[in-house]
């Protein structure tokens, strides 16, 4: 699976990076959250722990860059143990049958320096659907000062939960899910 990312580096500081390099996610400093509207009263936001990703970044040709990203469904944390357990059931994410959420890129566009639109396939609950992640490059750093070449970004994607078989409680839970990814990658 591939996910294209980090074209802004070409525009920001490509000279500081190798033409093509392999990166791994720094999971201690990265996180994934998702949120939805609850009956118009409040926005519910939950964490998804233990994300994993591998990135191949090509500064000369960002569209050739690839990344495979996944998050275990067992890593959903609502702050309430009983609700965490409920999210694992077949009624919700069905973690026993579909233990991972994944995103696989197909194309990347660079609308402006430091910004990307990453198109790909999001897979949840056994359903894969096209999705676009709006990416902002936070900071690239090269070499010894950062300990290794380091890339930081924030990505936001909006999807309809009903398209993934998660349409229950539609009268009180908003259909749009916002997924926010804050990630730091380190060169291998």
Residue-wise pLDDT tens digits, 149-187: 888 889 999 999 999 999 888 889 999 999 999 999 999
Task: Give pLDDT, residue 28.
Answer: 92
Four-point Cα dihedral 76, 82, 87, 90, nearest 10: 140
The span from the CA of 115 to the CA of 137, in Å, is: 6
Task: Give pLDDT, residue 8.
Answer: 37
Asked whether 101 and 94 are in contact (CB, 8 A), the reply is no
Q: How confident is the model at residue 95 (pLDDT cuts 50, 70, 90)?
A: very high
Write the DSSP string, 84-146: HHHHHSTTTT-TTT--EEEEEEEEEEEEETTEEEEEEEEEETTEEEEEEEEEEEEEEE-GGGG
Summarize pLDDT for 14-58 with one digit per residue, the tens: 444 555 788 899 999 999 999 999 999 999 999 999 999 988 877
List CB contacts of 42: < 8 A, sequence separation 6 or more.
none
Task: Give pLDDT, residue 19.
Answer: 57
Residue 185 bridge partners (DSSP): 25, 151
Residue 187 in 3-state DSSP? strand
Q: How confident is the model at residue 11 (pLDDT cuts 50, 70, 90)?
A: very low
The span from the CA of 105 to the CA of 14, in Å, is: 21
């Amino acid at each position: 699976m591939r996910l294209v990312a980090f074209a802004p580096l070409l525009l920001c500081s490509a000279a500081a990076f190798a033409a093509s390099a392999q990166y791994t996610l720094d999971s201690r400093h990265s996180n994934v959250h998702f949120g939805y509207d609850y009956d118009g009263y409040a926005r519910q936001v939950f964490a998804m722990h233990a994300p994993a990703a591998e990135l191949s970044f090509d500064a000369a040709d960002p569209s050739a860059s690839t990344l495979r990203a996944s998050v275990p469904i067992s890593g959903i944390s609502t702050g309430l143990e009983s609700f965490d357990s409920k999210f694992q059931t077949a009624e919700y994410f069905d973690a026993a049958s579909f233990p991972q959420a994944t995103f696989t890129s197909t194309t990347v566009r660079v609308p402006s320096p430091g910004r990307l639109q990453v198109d790909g396939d999001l897979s949840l609950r056994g359903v894969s659907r096209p999705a676009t992640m709006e990416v902002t490059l936070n900071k690239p750093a090269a070499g010894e000062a950062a300990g290794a070449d380091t890339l930081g970004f924030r990505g936001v994607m909006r999807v309809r939960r009903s398209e993934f078989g998660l349409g229950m409680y539609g009268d009180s839970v908003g259909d749009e899910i916002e997924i926010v990814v804050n990630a730091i990658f380190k060169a291998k």
